[in-house]
Amino acid sequence: MMYAAIMGYGTIGSGVAEILLGNRERIARCAGQEIGLKYVLDLRDFPDSPVADRIVHDFHVIEEDEQVKLVVETMGGLNPAYPFVKACLEAGKHVVTSNKALVAAHGTELLQIARDRGVNFFFEASVGGGIPIIRTLYRCLMGEGIQEITGILNGTTNFILTKMDREGASFGEVLREAQELGYAEQNPEADVEGHDTCRKIAILTAMVTGKEVNYEDIHTEGITRITDMDFRYAKKLEASVKLLGSSRIVGDKVYARVAPVMIGREHPLYSVCGVYNGILVKSDMLGTSMYYGSGAGKLPTASAVVADLIEAAQNEGSNVSIGWGEGRQEIADNETNESRYFVRISGDAEEKSGQVQRAFGQVRTLVMEGADEFAVLTEGMREAEFKERAIALDSEWQKAGGEGIRQIIRAELEG
Ligand code: HSE
C-alpha cells in the first residue's frame, strides 16, 4: 500500500478523490500496489463527503507523515501551492499537480529538486486537462524533432469564440452566458486576455526544447477585441477565429505567440469547437499529429492527475526523465514572427484600393454589403514590416481627417 494526500478539495481535487476511491482495484493493478488516500488538505470541512474523516487543515501533517509518498496539488495559484509542493519534494515525496501557474513559474526548480531527491514531479493535467499531451511529448514522441506545437488550449475562450461564430453574438453577450453556465470565471481575465494559454504554451515549449521558458517573454493577446463583424468576414472566407498558443522551432530559435488567428476549414484545429481543446504537433518523422479532447472539467482533469499518480507509484524509488532540464530558452522577438493579416478598413474598397495596394502589395479584398467598410487579406510578412506599413497607411487617412484601420487579425489561410 502506498499512501497519498490531496492538497485542495475543489473541483479537481474532489474528482481525484472520486477516482481513487471508485477505481481502487484497477488503480492497484496498474500501480502494482494499492494507493490509499490518507489525507485531504483544505481550509474547509466536508462533513457529508466521502473524505470527511481524512480532512486535515495543517499542511505539516502531510509533510511530516513518512507513510505519505504521493501528494496531489490541486489548490491552484502560487501561494501556498509553491512552498507546499517544494517542501513535499524536499521531504522525498512524489508530487503531481494540475496547476499550470505553478509549473510555468517554478517548473525548472521543482523538477531539479525532484531529480535530486529521486522522486517525480508530474503535471500532465496542467495543459489540455484530460488530453495526454505532456506524456505524449516525453514518451511517445521522444525520438522526434518537434518543429511546431500549436494549440487551442483554453476551453473558456474557445466556447466564447465558437458561440460568436455560430450565433453571430457579441463578445460581451457570450461572456455573460459562459459565466452563467459556469464555464467562465467571474473574473475571466486570465482566460480572455490569453494569460492561461500563455502559461500552457510556455509549458509545452519547455517540454519540447528541454529548457525553461519565461512565459513573460511570449507575446500574448486575448480575444476581447474580436467582434461579430470579424466573424461575418470570416464566414466569407470559410474561416473562423480561434485563440492559438503557438511555438515554432527553427534551429536554435523559438517563435512563440498567443493570439487570435483566422484559420480556414482546411486547418486541423478549425473543427475544435466549444469547450474542447486541440493540440497540433508537427515533427520531423511522424509529420502532423493532433490531440483532441476535454481540456478542463472535474473528471477529465482528475483522470490525468490519477494517471500521473500511477506513474509515480510505478517509479516509487526513481526519477523519470521527462526532458525538461536546466538552462533558459530564448524566445525570438515577436516582431520577427511572420504571418498573413486580415485588416478591416473604414470606407469604400474601390476608392482606397490604390493606397492599400501601395502599402501592402497584393491583397485579397472582401466587401461587406451594407457596411461602411471593407477588409483585405495580405500576403505573409514579418510583424515589424506589417506594422510599419499599417501605421503609415493609417496615418495618411488620419491626416486627411478620416477613419482608417478598424481591426487587424493574423491569418493562416490558403488562397
Ligand atoms: N480556465 C481554463 C480553461 C481551465 O478554460 O481552459 C483549464 O485549464
pLDDT by 10-residue block (mean), the chain, 415 residues = 98 97 98 98 97 98 98 97 98 98 98 98 97 98 97 97 97 93 86 98 98 97 98 98 98 96 98 97 98 96 98 97 95 96 97 96 96 98 98 93 94 91
| Whole-number Å distance between alpha carbons of 116 and 103 | 18
- What's residue 304's pLDDT? 98
Spatial contact of 312 and 31, defined as CB atoms under 8 Å apart:
no
Could you identify the atom of ligand 1 that is nearest to the CA of residue 277? 6
Intra-chain end-to-end CA distance of the chain, in Å: 60
Cα dihedral 306→308→314→318 (10° resolution): -150
Which residues have CB under 8 Å from 183's CB, separation 6+? 155, 156, 159, 275
Q: In sequence order, which ranges of 220-340 are alpha helices (DSSP H)?
A: 228-236, 298-314
Residue closest via CA to ligand 1's atom 8 equals: 296
Classified as helix, coil or strand, 402 is coil
| Whole-number Å distance between alpha carbons of 392 and 387 | 8
- What's residue 155's pLDDT? 95
Residue closest via CA to ligand 1's atom 4 equals: 296
Which residue from 17, 97, 1 is spatially nearest to 49, judged by alpha carbons? 17
- Number of C-beta neighbours around residue 230 at 10 A: 23
Cα dihedral 183→188→190→196 (10° resolution): 10
- What's residue 59's pLDDT? 98
130 in contact with ligand 1, CB cutoff 6 A: no
Residues β-bridged to residue 373: 346
Kindly give the distance from the C-alpha atom of residue 185 to the centroid of ligand 1, in angstroms, as a whole number.
9
Grid coordinates given for 145 = 524533432
278 in contact with ligand 1, CB cutoff 6 A: no
Q: Backbone phi, then psi, for 197, in 5-degree steps?
A: -60, -40
- What's residue 387's pLDDT? 98
Active site includes 200? yes
Could you identify the atom of ligand 1 that is nearest to the CA of residue 200? 8
| Whole-number Å distance between alpha carbons of 266 and 71 | 43
Active site residue: 69, 93, 163, 200, which one? Answer: 200
| Whole-number Å distance between alpha carbons of 164 and 161 | 5
- Model pTM above 0.85: yes
- What's residue 72's pLDDT? 98
Grid coordinates given for 126 = 496542467
Give CA angle at 151 (360, 262), nearest 5°. Answer: 30
- What's residue 219's pLDDT? 98
